[in-house]
A = this chain, B = another copy of it.
Amino acid sequence: VARLDEERAVRLLERMLAPTGTHPEHVLLGIGDDAAVLTAPGGKLVWTVDVNVAGVHFDLKWLPLLDIGWRSLQAAASDLAAMGARPLGAVSSLILPPGFSSQRLARLAQGQAQAARELGCPIVGGNLSRGGELSVTTSVLGSARRPLLRSGARPNDELWLVGDVGLAAAGLGVLQRAARTRSKAAGRCVRAWRRPSALISAGQQLSGRARAALDVSDGLGKDAARLAAASGVRLVLVESRLRGLLRPELCSVAALLRKDPLWLALEGGEDYALLAAGPRARRPRLARPIGRVERGTGAVLEHEDGRCSPLESLGFDHFRR
C-alpha cells in the first residue's frame, strides 16, 4: 500500500476527478490554484474550501474556541485574497465531538461571526454533524473581474511580499514551549497566530498589477516553490531583502526560542501573507520587493555571498503532522 502524503494525494485527486473530456465551459479553472474560477451568468466566481481539524491544525489547549472560529473563516478567505477577489459569503460545516456543549458552540460561532463582519463575508449556510473530533470546514465564494492566478509569473518579474511572515510560527512556538514570557513581542506573535487576517483589500490592489499571486499558508519557502512550479519559472528570494523586512517582534521572540527569525519566516506557516510576482514598474505601494523571477525551475534563497539554497524542502505539511 502506497504511502500517502499531501502532494501525492492532491495529484491523485486531480487525476481521478478530472472529467473524461474537459470541464464544462463555465469552469475556467478547476483544482490546483488557490480557488476555482467559474463564470456564472454575468461574472466570474472564485470559490474555495478550507478545513481545520482539532489535533491536526490546532490544539484546543492553545487556541480558544472564539479564535478557532475566527481563524477558520480568515484562512479560507485568504485564498480569495490571493485571487484578488471580493468575498460574497461563506458556508460553514461543523463536526462536533460528543459532549460539545451549546456554550462552546456559541463561542466558536461568535468567532466566525466576528471574522465575517471584519471581512464583509456573511455566513449564509452550513451543516452540523456529530463526529469523533472537532472540525470546521469553511467554503468561501467571491467574485473577481480578473482573478489573479498562481501561473502568471514571468522571468524578469519582481517578487513581492504583502504582509508579515514568521510571526504566527513564532507565536505558536511561544505557546508550545510554554515560554514564560509576558513580553509585548511574544503577545504580538501569539496574536498573529490566533487572529490572522485575510488580506482582501491588498489582494484587490495586487489584481491588475501583479501577474501571479498566492497566499502564504504553509511557509514562504514551500509556497514560493508552488508559485514557481505553477508558473514554470525559478524564484530567487534574496536573503538580505527578507531579513530587512522581518519585524522586530519576530527577531526578539526568535531569540527567545533560539531560532533564526529567517527560518521562522521561511518555514513557519499560517501567516496568510501574499506572495506575488509582477513588473517592477507596476509594484503597488503596499508590496515589498523580496527577489526576482528567472528562467528555470524551483525556488531558492540567495545568500549574501551569492550562493543559493533550495527552498522546496522547507515549509510544513498539515497532512503529515
Contacts and interface: CB of A to CB of B under 8 A. Distances in A.
Interface of A: 1-2, 4, 6, 8-10, 12-13, 16-20, 23-24, 26-27, 29-31, 35-36, 38, 40-43, 45, 47-51, 53, 55-57, 88-89, 91-93, 95-96, 100-103, 105-106, 109-110, 112-113, 116-117, 120, 122-133, 135, 137, 139, 141, 143, 318-321
A38 B91 contact: no
A106 B30 CA distance: 18
A12 B93 contact: no
Contact of A130 (B20, B53, B105, B116): B53
Contacts of A18: 113
Given A103-B2, A106-B16, A124-B23, A129 B43 contact: no
Given A2-B103, A122-B24, A139-B91, A17 B113 contact: yes
Identical copies of this chain, number = 2
7 contacts: A9-B105, A16-B110, A18-B113, A26-B88, A38-B88, A50-B127, A51-B93
Interface of A is mostly: mixed
B132 A101 contact: no
Contacts of A12: 102, 105-106, 109
Contact of A91 (B9, B36, B116, B124): B36
B47 A4 contact: no
Given A49-B91, A49-B125, 17 more contacts: A1-B101, A8-B102, A16-B106, A19-B113, A24-B122, A30-B123, A30-B124, A36-B89, A38-B89, A40-B43, A41-B143, A45-B141, A47-B124, A56-B130, A95-B135, A131-B135, A137-B137
A208 to B, nearest CB: 17
Q: Which has the most chain B C-beta neighbours within 10 Å: A53, A89, A116, A129?
A: A129
A27 B124 contact: yes
Contact of A30 (B13, B125, B131, B135): B125
Given A27-B124, A30-B124, A132-B132, A17 B109 contact: yes
Contacts of A95: 51, 53, 135
A55 B132 CA distance: 9
B49 A120 contact: no
